[in-house]
Amino acid sequence: MIFSGFLSLLILIGVHFFANQAKVLGWLWHGRFLSFAAGISFAYVFVDLLPTLEKGQPILKDTFGEFIPYFDRHAYLIALIGVLVYYGLQTPSASDTTKGTWLKIGGYLLFNFFVGASLADSRNPDIQPLFLFTIAMSMHYFIHDHNLSVDNTLLYMHKVRWWLVMALCVGYFTGYFTHIPNAIVAIVVSFLAGGMILNALRYELPKREQLGYPFFVMGALGYTVLLLGVGKG
């Protein structure tokens, strides 16, 4: 089981190193594959990730119920806050500033840390079945790395992708040797779920041509069928 989690870690590291090389497929198929990947990422959020927010609410209630009113019942509210924050980072006024760029990268690094930590325990029910979780994360990384590369190619190629790999590895070994409090995991998962939704749509919504739409639908429905077929849904 430990080996399977480590293998998934290596696959995700490989995506960071080679995602930008997908342009060798050509412009047309590169765009269609991005649409397909976005569909998988989108399906993962709605079919698998969002339902886990409900599981995290009892943890939030036990930890914060006496101190923060209503916080115990609103994991989805945290996800909404995640959408609003990530949307603010994606607007032109924010993305054109150094501060906005580093905030966006910082959120991605935090996300990678917790993905790596979750892989340290491959028996974690939140990432089962592991091969489907790995597929979904690979496609999400592909989309996100594409966006970062387009926004700032030099920064991504020479620094960011290395930091992303490091965040994955640090998270993996942190999760392997220590225990991250469940309440912190619940908050971060809720917050970053909103970011995943926005990121999956970021590539699709601004497109005026709909050449990639069938591939977006194929990715979303195909992944959903796989997920439900193995009893996860």
User: For the segment 65-121, what is each residue's pLDDT rounded down to a tens digit?
Assistant: 666 666 556 677 777 887 887 777 666 554 455 666 777 788 788 889 988 988 887
Distance CA 144, CA 95 (A): 14
Given this model, what pLDDT does residue 30 score? 63
Total length of the chain: 233
75-87 pLDDT, tens digit each: 777 778 878 877 7
pLDDT in tens, 169-217: 999 999 889 887 777 777 777 777 777 777 766 655 545 445 678 888 9
Average pLDDT over residues 20-31: 59
pLDDT digits (tens, 9 = 90+) for 117-145: 888 877 777 788 889 889 989 988 888 88
Contacts of 103 (CB under 8 A, 6+ apart): 89, 94
Average pLDDT, the chain: 78
The 8 Å CB, 24+ separation contacts for 204-207 are 204/35, 204/38
From CA 68, how far away is CA 167, in angstroms rounded?
30
Check: CB of residue 33 under 8 Å from CB of residue 215.
yes
Is there a contact between 53 and 59 (Cβ–Cβ < 8 Å)? no
User: Residue 67: its pLDDT value, please?
Assistant: 66
